[in-house]
Amino acid sequence: MVEGDYYELLGVPKSADERTIKAAYRKAAMECHPDRHGGCSDKEAHFKALNEAYDVLKDPQKRAAYDRFGKAAFQNGGGGAGNPFGAGGGFEGFSDIFSSIFGEFMDPRGQQQNVARGADLRYDLELTLEEAFAGTSKTITVEALAKCEPCKGRGSRGEATAQRCSTCGGAGKVRAQQGFFVVERGCPSCLGSGETIADPCHACDGEGRAISRRKLSVDIPAGVDEGTRIRVAGEGESGIRGASSGDLYLFVHMKRHAIFQREGTSLIAECPVSFTTAALGGSIDVPGVDGEKVEIKIPAGIQSGETLRHRGAGMSVLNGRGRGDLIARILVETPTKLSAKQKDILQSFRETETGEECPATKSFFQRMKGAMRG
């Protein structure tokens, strides 16, 4: 057995996938192949070390053992003197190794935990901004595996209940020794459930559940946003023969709003104002998400693109108190339809302009003149 860490030998991190490990091995093996170096003994030794490392890391079970126990997992045949897993000879030590690796799937009696639990379900729920603001209750239709009504979830046609599978002893898996390793696979008799039924229900083939459509009322809290995930416990698929059900996960999607754009708890509205209001000041009314009008005061001389913030008129805070802000983005509108009188008024105004009325315009042309002189 070679010295050093297998991952370092191949030059890959411990998180590397099979493709990365294979590519690293091929590159390293090609570079140090003995035939390319005139039979150099050092290169030959390194080449053998690469093969040893790759032989372990390419195999998921060997790699799992190596990650957990290091090279000690492959010393002394898996048992005997010097084996940290205890003496026993033969492959008993390796059986213990894989029992500890895969034992998290088994309970102390050798039965699988949660093997019959129902699967979780996903439901995409679309909401309006007003519904997300106030919170709402929705009735949705879910099509999934539910308790079989003919057999009441027992899985059998009569009163007989499921029996522990005699092939796997209720574990749902059987073990077979293949050379160096003890391999686990699903039990062929019970198909991994750990139980068998002598007289299965024809409606559900003994599972105790069948496809069903049901309506479900769900409560949506105020303040949810795009991507919010809501867990509804126990409303997923039913488990096999009375086992626990999975959960239902609602994923929120927001409809586009006619007025507001949302950024967190803030609501942004683009508000056009006349150029006279922008010049002289005034106020505008914006319809709030709660249905109440929000008065936005416009300061004299405001420029297009500037924003005004109204505290506490935005979205509800999810699982909290208070509200965000409403932000009005001002767009100064230039009039396109003027009467003759209005044109005369504006012409008179232009004749009285000194350049001080619009400092940004004045500054721009001064810079332009300076640039041309330069």
Annotated binding site for Zn(2+): 148, 151, 165, 168, 187, 190, 201, 204
The answer to whether the CB of 149 falls within 8 A of the CB of 235 is: no
Residues with Cβ within 8 Å of 275's Cβ and at least 6 positions away in sequence, in order, are: 332, 333, 334, 335
| 44's tokens | 């030959």
CB 134 within 8 A of CB 221: no
Dig out the tokens for 19 from the structure. Answer: 């493709």
User: Pick from 256, 276, 290: which is nearest to 135 by CA?
Assistant: 290
Numbered residues of the known binding site: 148, 151, 165, 168, 187, 190, 201, 204
Helices (H), the chain: 6-10, 18-31, 41-57, 60-69, 92-102, 129-134, 275-280, 340-351, 359-373
Find the radius of gyration of the CA atoms of the chain.
37
> What is the SS3 assignment for 211?
strand
Nearest to 317 by CA among 367, 282, 255, 267: 267
Measured between alpha carbons, how far is 111 from 172 in angstroms, rounded to an integer?
7
d(CA 319, CA 177): 54
